[in-house]
Amino acid sequence: MTGLTHHATGLNRLLRPVQSGADWRDTAIIGGPLEDDGVLADGFIHAADILVKHWKRSRPNDALVLPILANYRHSIELALKDGIRGAATCVRRDGHNDPELCPDVMNNQLSRTHSIGRLVEILNSLLGLLDLGADNQLPADTREVLDSLHLLDDSGQSLRYSTVKTGKGKSKKLERARADQQNFDLVRVASTLHEAATLLLHGVTGVLGQYEEWQAEMRQEYGDYYS
């Protein structure tokens, strides 16, 4: 208990507000009811974009490459989770009563995975349950980018560390995350990941927003006959 109290107190000391008389423009805000995975995803996209611009101006500084890729990857993971929650809400409104669609169950499931491949699978499955016509799956080119990102870092660990755990049980061992040197066009890759993250965050959200409006119109017009 003492450790928890100490940790909380330490955190509060760290996040002190700007002192009276200091520059109020140094004030930053985190937390609160408006903070969700979509908001955080947008922040990680912008952070990666800023790092790319800095890398282009001041290269060579390849120590920034993995933070750039990791920020894009995390933005995509968060955008997928945000889209999944939004799609699940729409599916529930359409009358699907699968227990796995319950918010608590869904949140628990999402908290236990960082797999891009698994998250894409869940999102596509939910979109497929909605009456979206041709928009009921992620675009093929975006899916290709996400599949490649999954292969690059399937667990959310490879882009964050120099070594990763492989194997299971007693056969677990640490191996280099990147045993061989690789040379690639960072600007092109960054642009590709930016587009994928933006489509997931704003494109999917836009489609689901329009679907929610249609659901509201149907409920208003048909009442209990719409499910």
Give the CA count within 13 Å in the CB-facing half-sphere of 154.
6
What pLDDT is attached to residue 134? 84
Q: Where are the alpha helices (DSSP H) in the chain?
A: 2-14, 37-58, 65-93, 103-111, 116-127, 140-152, 186-198, 204-222
Residue 227 has pLDDT above 70, yes or no: no
Phi/psi of residue 109, nearest 5 degrees: -65, -45
Tell me: the pLDDT tens digits for 69-104? 999 999 999 999 999 999 999 999 999 989 999 999
CB atoms inside a 10 Å sphere around CB 211: 21
What is the reported pLDDT for 159? 96
CB 94 within 8 A of CB 227: yes
The DSSP call for residue 62 is G
Main-chain dihedrals φ then ψ at residue 166, nearest 5 degrees: -125, 160
How do residues 167-223 score in pLDDT, each as one tens digit?
A: 787 788 899 999 999 999 999 999 999 999 999 999 999 999 999 999 999 888 887
Contact 132, 207 (CB under 8 A): yes
C-alpha to C-alpha distance for 137 and 121, rounded to whole angstroms:
10
User: What pLDDT, on the 0 to 100 scale, is given for residue 142?
Assistant: 97
pLDDT tens-digit series, residues 32-49: 999 999 999 999 999 999
Tell me phi and psi for residue 106, to 5 degrees. Answer: -65, -45
Domain segments of the chain as ranges: 36-225
